[in-house]
C-alpha cells in the first residue's frame, strides 16, 4: 500500500520506534493518529510532525477505550487504512521479582491490545488495508531474563501468522517486524536486569526498525515476518530449531554481550544500579 493520502494508527507513538514510524508515514503523505499514554509528550511529538499528525492520548491497556479508537480516528481524520501495533511494556529480569499484576500487564499491552485493536479495526479497514505488529526477536526463542516478554511476543507473532488467513478473506494484510535490541533507551530504566544475551546482538536504531515497518506497509504480501538485524533473526531461528546448539553457543554469546553491555553503559555515562 502506498501511504500517500492514507490514514494510519500508530500506538506507542510519542517516542522511539513509534515516533519514527509516525514521522516516516507523515513524510510519505499519510495522516497519522498518534497514540500514547502521556498527553503532554504526545502533543509535543505531534506538533513536531505538523498538522498531518493528530494526538489520541490513551492507555492501550484500557481495552474499552482502545476498542473505541478506530471510530474516533475515522470521525476525526476521515478514514482508516493502516494500523501499527507498536506499544509495549517489558518488566525485566527473573519473572519472580515481579508481582502477578505486572506479568499480566505485559500480556495485556503486548498481546491482548493488538488483538483487540486489530479486530475492531478490521470492520473499518478497506480492501488493501494493512496491520503491522512490532514484535521482537525475543518472540522467536525464549530469552533468559525476559520469560514473560518472550511469551507475549511469541504469542503476537504466531497470532498474526495464523490471523493472516482470516484477514485476507477481507482483503486485509498483516505482518510482523521483529527487532533485536534497539537503541531507544527502552531498557535504560532497568539496565542492570537487561540480559547480556540481549546485548550479544547488533543494536539497531528506531529509524532502521521503522523502515522495515514501512517495507511491510508497502508490500503486497501478507503474513510477512521480518527480522532486524537479519542475521540475528537467522541465529534465533537456528537456536530454536537446534536447542542443543543454542545451549552450546550461549556462553560465548553471553561473554560477547557482557562486553557490549559495558561499552553501552560507558557510552551513556551509566553506573551499575543507575539510570540513564
Q: The domain spanning residue 108 has which CATH number?
A: 3.40.50.720
What pLDDT is recorded for position 14? Answer: 96
What's the pLDDT tens digit per position in 6-39?
999 999 999 999 999 999 999 999 999 999 999 9
Nearest alpha carbon to residue 56 among 89, 17, 20, 8: 8
Least confident of 109-118, 130-139, 176-185: 176-185
Quick check: 266 pLDDT over 90?
no
Task: Please classify residue 78 by burial: count the beta carbons closer than 10 Å to its beta carbon, then call 0-12 exposed, 13-18 middle and 19+ buried.
Answer: exposed
Q: Is residue 256 part of a domain?
A: no
Angstrom distances, CA of residue 213 to CA of 26, 180, 238? 14, 14, 24
Task: Decide if 240 is catalytic.
Answer: no
Q: How many CA atoms lie within 13 A of 184 on its CB side?
A: 22
The reported pLDDT for the residue numbered 172 is: 98
* Strand bridging mode 7-11 / 31-36: parallel
Evaluate whether residue 261 is within a structural domain.
no
Domain count, the chain: 1
Question: Does residue 20 fall inside a structural domain?
Answer: yes
Q: Please report whether residue 263 resides in a domain.
A: no
pLDDT in tens, 58-70: 999 999 999 999 9
Q: Stretch 252-262: mean pLDDT, rounded?
A: 87
**Catalytic pick among 91, 149, 230, 240:** 149
User: Is the residue at 268 inside a domain?
Assistant: no
Average pLDDT (39-53) is 97
What residue numbers bound the domain in which 160 lies?
Answer: 7-187+203-241
The Cα–Cα gap between 176 and 126 comes to 20
The 3-state DSSP class for residue 67 equals helix
What is the rounded CA–CA span in Å between residue 228 and residue 139? 13
Output the pLDDT for position 271.
65
* Residue 81 within a domain: yes
Reading the block at residue 36, the C-alpha cell is 500514547
Report pLDDT for 234: 92
**Which is more confident, 123 or 181?**
123
Q: Whole-prediction pTM value?
A: 0.92
What cell was used for 2? 502506498
Q: What is the pLDDT of residue 276?
A: 35
Separation between Cα atoms, residue 81 and residue 128, nearest integer Å? 8
pLDDT tens string 174-206: 999 999 989 876 666 778 888 887 888 888 999
**Is 270 part of any domain?**
no
Enclosing H/E stretch for 211: helix 206-218
Amino acid at each position: 500500500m502506498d501511504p500517500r493520502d492514507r490514514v494510519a494508527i500508530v500506538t506507542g507513538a510519542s517516542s522511539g520506534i513509534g515516533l519514527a514510524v509516525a514521522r516516516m508515514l507523515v513524510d510519505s503523505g499519510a495522516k497519522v493518529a498518534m497514540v500514547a499514554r502521556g498527553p503532554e509528550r504526545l502533543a509535543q511529538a505531534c506538533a513536531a510532525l505538523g498538522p498531518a499528525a493528530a494526538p489520541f492520548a490513551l492507555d492501550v491497556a484500557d481495552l474499552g477505550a482502545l476498542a473505541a479508537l478506530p471510530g474516533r480516528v475515522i470521525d476525526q481524520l476521515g478514514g482508516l487504512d493502516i494500523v501499527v501495533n507498536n506499544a509495549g511494556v517489558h518488566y525485566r529480569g527473573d519473572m519472580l521479582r515481579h508481582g502477578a499484576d505486572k506479568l499480566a500487564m505485559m500480556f495485556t499491552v503486548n498481546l491482548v491490545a493488538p488483538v483487540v485493536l486489530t479486530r475492531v479495526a478490521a470492520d473499518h479497514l478497506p480492501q488493501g488495508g494493512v496491520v503491522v505488529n512490532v514484535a521482537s526477536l525475543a518472540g522467536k526463542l525464549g530469552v533468559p531474563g525476559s520469560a514473560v516478554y518472550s511469551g507475549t511476543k511469541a504469542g503476537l507473532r504466531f497470532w498474526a501468522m495464523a490471523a493472516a488467513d482470516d484477514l485476507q478473506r477481507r482483503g486485509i494484510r498483516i505482518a510482523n517486524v521483529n527487532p533485536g535490541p534497539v537503541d531507544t533507551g527502552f531498557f535504560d530504566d532497568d539496565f542492570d536486569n537487561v540480559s547480556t544475551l540481549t546485548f550479544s546482538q547488533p543494536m539497531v536504531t528506531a529509524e532502521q526498525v521503522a523502515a522495515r515497518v514501512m517495507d511491510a506497509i508497502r508490500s503486497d504480501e501478507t503474513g510477512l515476518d521480518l527480522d532486524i538485524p537479519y542475521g540475528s533473526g537467522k541465529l534465533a531461528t537456528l537456536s530454536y530449531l537446534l536447542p542443543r546448539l543454542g545451549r552450546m553457543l550461549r556462553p560465548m554469546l553471553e561473554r560477547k554481550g557482557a562486553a557490549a553491555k559495558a561499552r553501552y553503559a560507558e557510552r551513556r555515562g551509566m553506573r551499575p544500579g543507575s539510570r540513564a
